[in-house]
Structure 1
């Protein structure tokens, strides 16, 4: 059994489900083997929160997300805590039409990424998973519940350059880890950035979520040709793969383009392209110049350069995740603040993988 299969299998939960009552009973290993109570197992009961009380959290092409509450815990701790549960049908319109064979192939990519990035050392950058289980014709992925929702819900007004820098820095740190381990998110957008903290109580703090269409490089390859992603934040090469019968390859650089598009949306209040025709013209002819919109919003020279270098039409010319962290717009700002709670920015900016 390979390491990837081990990751997935080790995070599988043992459950019994009462479908009629929307109750899930878990039996799992005790995280504290030295506890005076039963050392070997922990029993938990989770109930779905009624939709009228905010139990339905959202839906997309890859599944629905519900809120559950813990009503019983054999350890007697944290009863009443919440979690989010993503429900993915094993078959359906979410499946990638370019994949053949085992219908589990797509959701296994999400399970693998969730298991990998749910270790404590990654918890500052990614929405954590508590495990997954299979029941009837669906896969259920349990995750931390983040009450403030996603960043899309806060786009009614423009973000300041400083707030955008902070959010971008947090996303970059997540991408550094993802790309280092061969994962490409492939659908970065405000809806997939969950808001942990927000003004006025605290500074903006987001985590990357939804690995439903992430994919990992195999045997050192870095190019993928699956036609997936959200157009408004999709790199040109991804758009080409959608609009052509011929599959086009793309790489980690697609995530960097998406980050640039997110920055434009936050700082200007507008999408980089306000129509499909303009985007299509750019893809065919280039170059892209978001400079006018950024200038109108008084974005600094360094901020405009950062966006331009993320959104280069040529994927090979874009900043890498590490290059983005080292860019003056990010590194200068990180000297004055923390990127995430308990994570000194100057340490993060100088981090190197060995």
Structure 2
């Protein structure tokens, strides 16, 4: 019997009307011009199937504009993934869908935005539950692992660190994911600065009454820990107890090896048994001159200890020399500012709310003193401070509050370059600055405003919003390593 949904879960339920090939949601939002709440209708069309598994089907839906203001919505806000799950599984077993909804809602909180796929709400029919989520155009990590050579230790550390951070959040709250695998890791931005998020809480489970072990047999076999498969013994030779959150640590260890070697570690149940009963060691030798460092081998070995009680916690892994060294390198790269190229300034506020509607980045928006004209081709003087004529901005920017927004100032020593960039709607920058923007976009959950300026000029030539992550995949290779010569 299903328990009653919590108030938080009810608040996230979408009032929905089912139509042919589409759904219509009715929402109430705060008016920009008054305190009244106004009714808004959103129509979402089902475009295609994105994937199918034992727990349901995932669809791509697009939002068709129903008003002039909605035409300004950037593409990320017009696409979403929708997971459809039948309430009654094969064999007539009733599935506790409220459990997954509660877990997704919990880890969709903004403080977890950098680790987990967010949900935008849910709705239901008599037969099915529909969970709306972020859509990741780049797909999952499995796709990248299949299409490219083995990952470097540096890239692997970036990805593994994010997985362990997400696992740490879950474990601290008493949850185990229980099905961490490349297909459940969605790619927000690829290398050289990887950003990934954990998805699919369909079989996650929470410890009850202080218990930390779970007795149901779930997960994907290639990433199942020995204790899930009934293999292995503890240090005293006793059969392992029902498994715990340590199953996620094992899965991340397996993923680490697959990233580095581009092959499975254990090809059969017998291979795992041989390892667990000390008949065969882990084989971390790679093909094509792929060599794993000794510290990395030690890191993997600890994550893949057959005794779950001996595996490190997700939080403890960051202290391992291999991951600590790689994290230090990542932090150093993020902190670099090239004084001879573009300068980068970020405000220190922790409040990243943005009191505007989502809108596409415009090539140039005049930033000026109250008496300025609408000329976009001339740099505007801002020496009087952050005062601007809101009539010169599109509607989506008129509620902009610098005091409560994460923002970045991109400055150049070359006035001509800046004006040319604005005129063409393209900002050319170094990898250092692009990396900063990518990290800022991730940390601020997409709420980032850019101001374009010339160094020492006290003038701005434009203001814009980031509407998507940095597209490293299509970045001109000359900019990838800060060696542009053209």
Query: Equivalent residue of 1:72, what SS?
Result: coil
Task: Give distance in 1, aligned partners of 2:60 and 2:327.
Answer: 35
* Correspondence for 1:23: 22
Alignment map for 1:10-89 (pairs within 5 Å):
10-18=11-19, 21-30=20-29, 33=30, 35-36=32-33, 39-49=37-47, 55-72=48-65, 76=70, 78=73, 81-89=78-86
1:225-254 deviation per Cα after TM superposition (whole angstroms, max 9, x unaligned): 11101111110011229xxxx996111100
Task: Give distance in 1, aligned partners of 2:54 and 2:140.
Answer: 17
Backbone CA RMSD of aligned residues: 2.7
Task: Give distance in 1, aligned partners of 2:264 and 2:102.
Answer: 32
Query: Equivalent residue of 1:139, what SS?
Result: strand
Query: Any unmatched runs of 5+ in structure 1?
Result: 50-54, 98-102, 345-354
Q: 1:155 aligns with which of 145, 152, 165?
A: 145
Q: TM-score, normalised by structure 2?
A: 0.61
1:59-85 deviation per Cα after TM superposition (whole angstroms, max 9, x unaligned): 111001000001135663527510000
Task: Give distance in 2, aligned partners of 1:88 and 1:155.
Answer: 28
Larger Rg: 2
Q: Which deviates more from structure 2 when the two are superposed, residues 108-117 or residues 67-76?
A: 67-76
Do the aligned residues in 1 keep the contact of 2:257 with 2:284 (CA within 8 Å)?
no
Give runs of ≥4 in structure 1 deviating > 4 Å: none
Do the aligned residues in 2 keep the contact of 1:287 with 1:313 (CA within 8 Å)?
no
Aligned-pair distance for 1:319?
1.0
Do the aligned residues in 2 keep the contact of 1:24 with 1:47 (CA within 8 Å)?
yes
Task: Give distance in 2, aligned partners of 1:159 and 1:119.
Answer: 31
Task: Give distance in 1, aligned partners of 2:108 and 2:128.
Answer: 22
* Correspondence for 2:213: 223
Q: TM-score, normalised by structure 1?
A: 0.83
* Correspondence for 2:385: none
Q: Are 1:180 and 2:179 an aligned pair?
A: no
Aligned-pair distance for 1:210?
0.6
Q: 2:129 aligns with which of 139, 143, 146?
A: 139
Query: Equivalent residue of 2:16, what SS?
Result: strand
Q: 2:327 aligns with which of 334, 349, 353?
A: 334
Q: Which has more helix, going by share of residues?
A: 1
Equivalenced residue count is 320
Task: Give distance in 2, aligned partners of 1:41 and 1:287.
Answer: 67
* Correspondence for 1:118: 108
* Correspondence for 2:295: 302
Query: Any unmatched runs of 5+ in structure 2?
Result: 232-238, 335-437, 444-486
